[in-house]
Amino acid sequence: MINFDAIPHTRGESVYLDDIIEPDGLLHIGVVGSSIAHGKIRKLDIEKAKGVDGVVAVLTAKDIPGENQIGSIIPDEPLLADDDVKYIGEPIVLVVAKSKKQAYKAFGNIHIEIDELPAITDPREAYKKGEIIAPPRTFLIGSPNEAWSKCDKIIEGRVDSRGQEHLYLEAQCAMSIPVENGGMTVFSSTQSPTSVQKTVAKVLGIPMHKIEVDTRRLGGGFGGKEDQASSWAAMTALAAFILKKPVKLVLNRHEDLVMSGKRHPYSSDFKIGLDKNGKILVYEVMFYQNSGAVADLSTSILERTLLHATNTYYIPNAKITAVPCRTNLVPFTAFRGFGGPQGMFVIEWAIQKASEALKIPAYEIQKRNLLSEGDPFPYGMKVKNCMALRCWKTADKLYDFNGIFKSADEFNKKNVMFKKGVAVMPLCFGISFTSIFLNQAGALVHVYNDGSVSVSTGAIEMGQGVNMKMLQIAAQTFSIDPKRVKVETTNTSRVANTSPTAASTGADMNGKATQIACLDILSRLLESARKILGKDGSSVIEIREEIVFCNGKPSQLKWDELVAKSYFSRTHLSSAGYYATPEIYFDKTKEKGEPFAYHVFGTAIITATLDCLRGTYEFDGVKLVHDVGKSINPLIDKGQTEGALLQGMGWLTLEDLVFDKNGRLMTSTSSSYKVPDIKFTPAEVKVHFLEDADNPYAVLNSKAIGEPPFMYGIGAYFAIVNAMKAFCPDKDYPMESPVTPERVLKFLYSDKDGKTAKSIDGQKEMSGAVL
């Protein structure tokens, strides 16, 4: 089945927030942010701005009727800065005008004086100065201190990974409309309507039931609208509440890039010990997370880093420590993978360096340490339904790993200025929110008396196809034509206390809640059918493709008639389904538990060709086997796999998020921040879903798809590194990302001390290659 959104998307008929018909008297907000990264506000003069043509109001922290606090985990984030500023772009003043242009025109009439203070941009510096958001946490398994003496080889190193911009097509936006009795309807481009509802209620100082949040769909989210959409919605609600007028805010691209959060940069130290055969005996790592100026979701993201620090490998002795460090940069936030990729990147670098030290291919070390059924993770949970080795073997059988490596070696022997690199990337990713209370979802299903069906859930459609999966689950449960089913907007008045659509749980939890609601209605319909057909309790009644069957034989009773007759006999045709993921728990005092419903596995092999004269590269192919359980919609899942793959590749290759020492974002436009495009796409992408891998722990035996394939992008990074090593076998590439063409070129033509060669003319020998 195709995604039913595809046709209106293609025609341009799909409605996003900025497409909603604007109410009469709509006002617009312009946000004035801090121009420096750290300082004390000494003077704030807004009087001249109030007189600018079209300006209706100029609002500051003093105008907030409720709490000037929007921190969701740790209360350390004001909606509008009051006494001090902590990062460039931090909102200070809201200008409300009849048009966006008039609001922006007033900016020059606002006078802000700030006494500048030293800014911290490095997480290691922040840690040394005691600027941490929460205490360090450590996961421990085995006896690491005792295990070092048993190792044949010990390798240490430092790994740095930069952040990543979400660059969703639809920028942050919201619109609020006052309603009767002091209430507010908020249209928000958010992954978490309940978070918006709670934040708005807090800022306005009114109960949540007076706030209705509605979301049709997002033009992309990737985690950037899980928590940070709340502030922009609260700003519109604040202005609407004070002025009693509808108010809208839509950031332009530059504002969004400067003011919104990104993937967390990490700086990490590792130490790994192995025996002579490549078996990992012990691993220690320290993660310094650059959390930005406020907590946001950093502590939860850091927790997932801890949980995924060993990726898909069994390591009997490990000590994994992480600390969230406060810097004067924009608050970093959720991003696809939620801290998992940063942890996996470090263990893959550790294996890469171990491969060089032991002279054993990295993929052999990877294979020899893959998880097996029942192996414990550092956090205590034992792996169940382990597909790690199955995915590896299936990929090797389908794609011939040895053949791919051999072909690359032969190419490299024949070519001087072009080199091929190959890398294998296996993965293991846990599915569930690490905050256990979030693992719950609700659904509201109505069957109307004409046989049509309405489904409301807490799931947010942001291009990943979750609405299509909700539609399919309802249609399949009732065994009716999918055209009969409509998926409604996500609305806090229909489904309350929703969890964010994040952590790859959207289809799992909301789908299960939908299925429960449908089964509840179906049980009543089947009992009604039994009465209509005059059958006793021993008869087996079921619906197949809109026809009622009795004891395996079709009757004359069809879906339409059954629903109509059931309605007239006063059968309840609505149900509210509720699902809470069972058997998950985590004890933070012991750092042990079973935080995941299940794990997703997979293996990819990536080949890259490097132009050693220009420093540019192309990806010849990505071939992977992915564990998706029993896919609800293979076409959607394949699209998600390919999209996540490309986004992961972009993070570690092209996407260079750069801040200067004063905390200013240097890549603050779409022309200075490079993301993958069609030309970057590998020449060949093969996606094979592992067969006969039903998952009993999720709806319809499926598995989550949103985040896990992102990790395959890590393999693309090492494919390029291996190509560089083929050109410069005696040099070590610094363990940092992204591996941009500029960094590649600098590495290829610098000496071992990092000094760039002045000439590459003639037959000059450089790093073992003849030019």
Quickly count: other Cβ atoms within 10 Å of residue 211's Cβ. 27
pTM of the model: 0.96
- pLDDT for residue 3: 84
Note the pLDDT of residue 750. 87
Annotated active-site residue in 146, 707, 736, 742? 707
- pLDDT of 718 reads 98
- The tens digit of pLDDT for each residue in 488-547 reads 999 999 999 999 999 999 999 999 999 999 999 999 999 999 999 999 999 999 999 999
- The whole-number pLDDT of residue 760 equals 45
* Helix pair 388-399, 401-414: axis angle to 10 deg: 50
Note the Cα 199 to chain centre separation in Å. 21
| Mean pLDDT value of segment 600-606 | 98
Average pLDDT over residues 236-258: 98
> Is 707 tagged catalytic?
yes
User: Which of 244, 230, 176, 214 shows the shortest CA–CA distance to 29?
Assistant: 176
pLDDT at 1 over 80: no
Q: What is the pLDDT of residues 397-449, one digit of tens each?
A: 999 999 999 999 999 999 999 999 999 999 999 999 999 999 999 999 999 99
The answer, yes or no, to whether residue 770 has pLDDT greater than 90, is no
Q: What is the pLDDT of residue 751?
A: 76
Rounded distance, CA 373 to CA 128, Å?
41
pLDDT single digits (tens) 41-54 = 999 999 999 999 99
pLDDT at 752 over 80: no
**What would the mean pLDDT of 149-169 be, rounded to a whole number?**
98
For 306-337, write each residue's pLDDT tens digit: 999 999 999 999 999 999 999 999 999 999 99
Instruction: Quote the CA–CA distance of 742 and 729 in Å, as a whole number.
Output: 19
Q: Using the predicted structure, report yes or no on whether residue 88 has a pLDDT greater than 50.
A: yes
Residue 419's closest CA among 409, 404, 431, 432? 409
Band of residue 771 on the pLDDT scale cut at 50, 70, 90? very low
User: Would you state the pLDDT for residue 405?
Assistant: 98
Mean pLDDT of the chain: 96
- DSSP 8-state assignment for residue 595: -
List of domains in the chain? 6-118+167-259 (3.90.1170.50), 266-434+590-727 (3.30.365.10), 440-580 (3.30.365.10)
pLDDT at 713: 98
Above 70 in pLDDT, residue 767?
no
The confidence score (pLDDT) of residue 756 equals 61
Residues 742-761 have a mean pLDDT of 74
Residue 450 above 80 pLDDT?
A: yes
Where residue 4 falls among pLDDT bands split at 50, 70, 90?
Answer: confident
3-state SS track over 33-58: ECCCCCEEEEEEECHHHHCCCCEEEE
Q: Is residue 648's pLDDT more than 50?
A: yes
Q: What is the DSSP letter of 61?
A: G
Beta bridge partners of 85: 39
Q: Is the per-residue pLDDT at 226 higher than 50? A: yes
